[in-house]
Amino acid sequence: MMSSVPGPDKKTKLLVYTIEECPVCGQKTKRAFAVGDYVTKDSSKCPKCSNVTRVSLVYAEGVKPSS
């Protein structure tokens, strides 16, 4: 489920993303946040070297709704 909360100006929506980082090759991937994600959690396989990635960040980004 994509998490979204109202932004500071009420017009923008904040979409929450999880950043996965491969500890071996450093490859970063960005995907929608899923309940249960947390920083340092072992996540999916790295698309580049197939090692297990680790969640390095979870953050929200503002998205203006298209009118």
Partner 1 sequence: MLTISSAVLQVSTSDITTYLYIAFFGLLFIVQFAFGTRLQSYFAINEIGRGLNKLKVMKDKARKDAIDYLVNVGKASNDPTQRVDQFLDYVTIMPVDIDPSGLVGKIDHVVTTNNDRVRTEVGALLNQTNPVTISISENLLEVATSLNQIHKIVRHFYLLGKKTNSYFTLVQLQMLMPMIIQEADALLNATDSFKMGEPVGDGIGPVVVSRLMAGKEKRVIAKDTMMAVTEYKGRKLYVLKADGPMAYVGQPGVAIQKIVGDMGVKPSAIVMIDAALKLEGEKTGEIAEGVGAAIGGIGVEKFQIEEAATKAKVPLYAILVKQSLIEAITVMRKEIAEAADRVTEVLNRVIEEKTKEGDEVVVAGIGNTLGVAQ
Residues that bind partner 1 (CB under 8 A): 3, 5-6, 8, 14, 16, 33, 35-41, 54, 57-61
Burial degree of 20 (CB within 10 A; 0-12, 13-18, 19+): buried
CB of 14 to partner 1, least distance (A): 7
User: Which CB, 35 or 65, lies closer to partner 1?
Assistant: 35
Six token digits for residue 2: 């994509």
Query: Whose Cβ is closer to partner 1: residue 40's or residue 66's?
Result: 40
